[in-house]
Amino acid sequence: MHQIVWKEEYLTGVEEIDRQHMDFVKLINRLNIINEYGDNLEYSLRLLAEVAKYADYHFTCEENIMYLTKYPDLEKQEEAHKGMLAEYNNLMQSFQNKEAVIEDVIKYLEAWFAQHSVELDKRIGTFLKSRKK
């Protein structure tokens, strides 16, 4: 069964963000489990809705951290977050309409997590670390 295994390279250096990223990975892994063990459309839709709500919560928390610390790329992050949520919602709608399969949604979430967390969110930790010096 495919699962995302947490790696140290995913850490941003911001405890709250890292804890939330770990929870996000757990949600993605639950989707993988559901996909592996059967086609439960109703539960899949509930879990996809949970992912959307959690992502929105997480992005708001992240943006608040950036706002409070005067992170210089806050606007860039906010735009990226809006775009990812919009794309996710479109994909979720496609799944509901049977125009996409759950594997499409899972692949999108895995790429989203790996790319956004490793590339953009690590910069927040680097910025905060540089301010402490």
Residue 75's domain comprises: 41-132
**Quick one: average pLDDT of 99-109?**
93
| Mean pLDDT in residue range 98-120 | 90
Three-class DSSP category at 93: helix
- Which pLDDT value is given to residue 92? 94
In order, the DSSP letters of 50-68 are HHHHHHHHHHHHHHHHHHH
Residue 1 maps to a domain? no
- Cβ-based neighbour number of residue 48 at 10 Å: 23
Q: What is the mean pLDDT of residues 11-34?
A: 94
Q: How many domains does the chain have?
A: 1
Instruction: Quote the pLDDT of residue 38.
Output: 74
Q: Is residue 9 part of a domain?
A: no
pLDDT at position 114, please? 86
Residues 16/65, Cβ–Cβ less than 8 Å: yes
- Is 24 within the bounds of a domain? no
Q: Is residue 47 part of a domain?
A: yes
Q: pLDDT-derived band of residue 1, with 50, 70 and 90 as boundaries?
A: low
For residue 92, being part of any structural domain is answered with yes
**What mean pLDDT value characterizes the chain?**
92
Query: Whole-prediction pTM value?
Result: 0.90
Helices (H), 38-121: 41-68, 74-96, 102-112
41-45's contacts with Cβ under 8 Å and 24+ in sequence apart are 44/95, 44/102, 45/95, 45/96
| % pLDDT > 70, the chain | 98
Any idea which residue has 């995913």 for tokens? Answer: 10
Residue 111's pLDDT is: 92
Assigned domain for 5 exists: no
CA 52 to chain centre: 9
Q: What is the pLDDT of residues 30-78, one digit of tens each?
A: 999 988 887 688 889 999 999 999 999 999 999 999 999 999 999 999 9
